[in-house]
Amino acid sequence: MSALAAEVGAVNLGQGFPDTDGPPEVLAAAREAIAGGYNQYPPALGYPVLREAIGRHQERYYGLTVDPQTQVLVTVGATEAIASAVLALCEPGDEVVTFEPYYDSYAACIALARATRRTVALRFPDFAVDEDALRAAFSERTRLVLLNTPHNPTGKVFTRDELILIAQLAAEYGAYVVTDEVYEHLTFDGAQHLPFATLPGTAERTITISSAGKTFSTTGWKVGWLSGPAELVSACRTVKQFLTYVGSGPFQPAIALGLDTQDDYVGRFAKDLGRKRDLLSTGLTAAGFEVARPSGTYFVIADAAPLGVTDAVDFCWQLPHTHGVAAIPVSVFCDDKAAARTLVRFAFCKKDDVLQEAVRRLTHA
């Protein structure tokens, strides 16, 4: 979709990446790190300066204590953290419970591990967890729950009750939980991100994943990390060693500085995104879509059925040509394609004038 958007000059609200770079201090710190000699292989777990900053961040925001020496692993984006965790924890034939729609790398990583995914549908427009469906997804073969909150592509922030239910079922079935919290800071209207590992009794079975790409709008730096019990982190590290070994050398100290000094920036960024969510949601509604207002991430799902659309895949292929806007059909994130037949995901991590232009094109063309 990004290639098509570029080809036809469409406003690209498909792939989720910001069109404004993150805090200048963080960008400057990367340049300084290059000048200062951070250009060879970092240590296998990541530079201590970053692991320590991750530990402080977890403590400051969530009261979570992680030992930077043994409980944190720096990865090549959250993407590698997900792959390492799934490959480390799953054997062929194991089952992984995840929610659908799901971020696309989940299905690929579960397949790489030759495990089986058992998905639980989150249904438009409120995307609530259905307790019976969740229970039914667990079995004695369940090895792992792969959770994502705040959730791409729905923008859902899982509630405390939903997370407690997941925790209870994981405990009952002896399953690990890998929780992808890359949008941890991107929530709106007072919606509170609750890290899964803060729930009672969960820490010993949970791997938490995040990414500087989302928090600091540095998606191209590919600095991510995971944290959890030392023996699980060690298992992930064993996998990671043979995926990439290490990565993102000079960006690691720069992100450490970001985690230590940019809380105000992050607060402003989230607030700004909340406003952009409103701008795009209002515009999509005016254009005739039915919009599910997200509480987090930088994505919004809109139903194109009121526009007479019967297949969002066709619609999204046509939209760059007909209206000069690119978006993603939600069915690409689903096993049950029919359930998402008319749903479209738009990204709103774009400059106001870009969003306004997209709205203008969608409402007037």
Q: Which is nearer to ligand GLN, 32 or 335 (CB)?
A: 335
Q: How many residues bind ligand PMP (CB under 6 A)?
A: 14
Partner that binds at residue 156, options ligand GLN, ligand PMP, none, CB closer than 5 to 8 Å by kind = none
22 binds, among ligand PMP, ligand GLN, none (CB under 5 to 8 A by kind): none
Of the pair 16, 274, the CB lying nearest ligand GLN is at 16
Find which of ligand GLN, ligand PMP, none residue 15 binds, CB within 5 to 8 Å per kind. Answer: ligand GLN
Contact between 16 and ligand GLN by CB under 6 A: the answer reads: yes
Of 218, 230, 145, nearest in space to 182 by CA = 218
* Cβ within 8 Å of residue 67, ≥6 positions away: 55, 230
Q: Which does 213 bind (CB under 5 to 8 A by kind): ligand GLN, ligand PMP, none?
A: ligand PMP
Burial class of 35 by CB neighbour count within 10 A (0 to 12, 13 to 18, 19+): exposed
Residue 151 to residue 268: CA distance in whole angstroms: 21
Q: How far is the CB of 299 from ligand PMP (least distance, A)?
A: 8
User: Under the criterion CB under 6 A, does residue 318 sit at the interface with ligand GLN?
Assistant: no
Q: Which stretch binds ligand PMP (CB under 6 A): 22-30, 197-205, 218-226, 352-360?
A: 218-226
Name the residue nearer to ligand PMP (CB basis): 324 or 331.
Answer: 331
| Type and span of the H or E element at 241 | helix 230-243
Residue 213 binds to ligand PMP (criterion: CB under 6 A): yes
Helix, coil or strand: residue 188: coil
Q: Is the dihedral of CA 300, 301, 307, 311 positive or negative?
A: positive
Q: Which does 294 bind (CB under 5 to 8 A by kind): ligand PMP, ligand GLN, none?
A: none
Residues 92 and 3: their CA atoms lie apart, in Å, by 36
Of 10, 13, 16, 346, the one binding ligand PMP (CB under 6 A) is 16
| Exposure b/e, 95-108, CB count within 10 A at least 16 = b | bbbbbbbbbebbbe
- Position 148 contacts ligand PMP (CB under 6 A): yes
**Secondary structure of residue 12 in the 3-state scheme:** strand
12 binds ligand GLN (CB under 6 A): no
User: x/- binding map, residues 25-54, to ligand GLN, per CB under 6 A?
Assistant: ------------------------------
Q: Which of residues 152-211 bind ligand GLN (CB under 6 A)?
A: 152
Plot region of 85 (φ>0 → left; ψ -120 to 50 → alpha; else → beta): alpha
Q: Minimum distance from CB of 299 to ligand GLN (Å)?
A: 7
- Asked if residues 226 and 81 have their Cβ atoms less than 8 Å apart, the reply is yes
Query: Residue 113: which H helix or E strand, with range?
Result: none
Question: Per-residue string for binding with ligand PMP, 51-90, x by CB under 6 A?
Answer: --------------------------xxx-----------
Among 6, 8, 15, 19, binds ligand GLN (CB under 6 A): 15
Q: Of the candidates 326, 284, 313, which has an alpha carbon nearest to the alpha carbon of residue 301?
A: 284
Phi, psi of 141 (to 5 degrees): -95, -5
Stretch 94-153 residues interacting with ligand GLN (CB under 6 A): 152
CB burial of 145-160 (b: ≥16 within 10 Å; e: otherwise) equals: bbbbbbbbbbbbbbbe
**In angstroms, what is the minimal distance from the CB of 61 to ligand PMP?**
18
> Do residues 193 and 223 make contact, with C-beta atoms less than 8 angstroms apart?
no
In the bound state with ligand GLN, the residue whose beta carbon lies nearer, of 138 and 298, is: 298
Give the binding site for ligand PMP (CB under 6 A). Answer: 16, 77-79, 103, 148, 152, 180, 182, 211, 213, 219, 222, 224
Give the binding site for ligand GLN (CB under 6 A). Answer: 15-16, 152
